[in-house]
């Protein structure tokens, strides 16, 4: 299995490329390699960074099945700095994803509110209702349920541009303005174009296609990061597609 690769490092932070199959930090029901274990081995001083011993130095996350760029703080000062930077949405994050089907639009915005499902580890993207119907007594049972669900949902905004269309897939560049759990995956699922390889947000039809593709991961990569670092320097980091995703585009996707 591939290991994390350091892209950039200073005394305050490091930028690394997390491979697919690695979970960022431990928790209930978590199995497989942990990024935090790898950091503990190679950067033991990070163990005291942050406010949670289970995720030292971690300022943001990336799904286990996805790969790509992450920032890790090496000091508590840097940890606080980057936490505020991500919280105030001053970090530019760009992803590439391959989704099932052909998206007709060249670009679009997905802004379905997201909430946690009543059971399991799934998130749910909620459809919109007529906002003029403010009184629950004027709603039918379905919309009344949506109003109640939306009270617990969080706004989420995902922008995309089509990079290339294949016969059965569309390659998209994605930028998220919010950082909700599974945001890209649940938004494209709600949009009718689940991500290739996603076994959680999928339909019966795309699940069969995922099995035939044999990719063994989600086609989702955090491809670039842009931010002003603690020293005040503007930084832009970008990586190429990993070999398995590049190979799929050049072969099975066509």
Full DSSP string of 192-221: T-PBTT-SSS--HHHHHHHHHHT--S-SEE
Distance CA 35, CA 25 (A): 6
Residue 244 lies in a domain: no
Q: What is the CATH number of the domain that holds 138?
A: 3.30.2350.10
Phi and psi at residue 38, to the nearest 5° = -65, -40
Only one residue has tokens 């706004």, namely 155
Residue 103 lies in a domain: yes
Measure the CA angle with vertex 79, ends 77 and 83; round to 5°: 120
Residue 129 lies in a domain: yes
Q: Into how many domains does the chain fold?
A: 1
Residues annotated as catalytic (active site), given as ranges: 63
DSSP 136: G
Q: Which domain holds residue 109?
A: 95-222
Instruction: Return per-residue pLDDT of the chain as tens, 254 residues.
Output: 789 999 999 999 999 999 999 999 876 667 789 999 999 999 999 999 999 888 999 999 999 999 999 999 999 999 999 999 999 999 999 999 999 999 999 999 999 888 887 766 788 887 654 444 445 555 555 555 444 545 566 888 999 999 999 999 999 999 998 888 899 999 999 999 999 999 999 999 999 999 999 998 999 999 999 999 999 999 999 999 999 999 999 987 76
Measure the CA angle with vertex 4, ends 34 and 174; round to 5°: 95
Distance CA 120, CA 229 (A): 37
Residue 163 lies in a domain: yes
Residue 42 lies in a domain: no
Distance CA 103, CA 185 (A): 15
């Amino acid at each position: 299995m591939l290991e994390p690769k350091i892209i950039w490092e200073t005394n305050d932070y490091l930028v690394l490329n997390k491979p697919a199959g690695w979970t960022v930090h431990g928790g209930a029901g978590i199995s497989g390699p942990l990024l935090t274990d790898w950091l503990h081995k190679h950067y033991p001083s990070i163990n005291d960074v942050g406010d949670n011993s289970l995720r030292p130095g971690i300022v943001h996350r990336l799904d286990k099945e996805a790969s790509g760029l992450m920032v890790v703080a090496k000091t508590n000062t840097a940890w606080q700095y980057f936490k505020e930077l991500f919280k105030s949405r001053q970090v530019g994050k760009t992803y590439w994803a391959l989704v099932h089907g052909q998206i007709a639009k060249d670009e679009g915005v997905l802004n379905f509110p997201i909430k946690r499902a009543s059971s399991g580890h799934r998130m749910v993207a909620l459809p919109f209702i007529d906002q003029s119907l403010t009184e629950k007594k004027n709603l039918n049972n379905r919309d009344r349920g949506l109003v109640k669900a939306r009270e617990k949902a969080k706004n989420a905004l995902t922008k995309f541009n089509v990079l290339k269309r294949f016969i059965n897939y569309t390659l998209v560049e994605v930028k998220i303005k919010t950082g909700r759990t599974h945001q890209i995956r649940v938004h494209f699922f709600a949009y009718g174009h689940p991500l290739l390889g996603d076994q959680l947000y999928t339909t019966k039809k795309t699940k069969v296609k995922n099995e035939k593709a044999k990719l063994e991961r989600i086609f989702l990569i955090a491809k670039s990061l842009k931010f002003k670092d603690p020293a005040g320097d503007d930084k832009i980091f970008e990586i190429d597609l990993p070999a398995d995703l590049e190979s799929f585009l050049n072969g099975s996707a066509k």
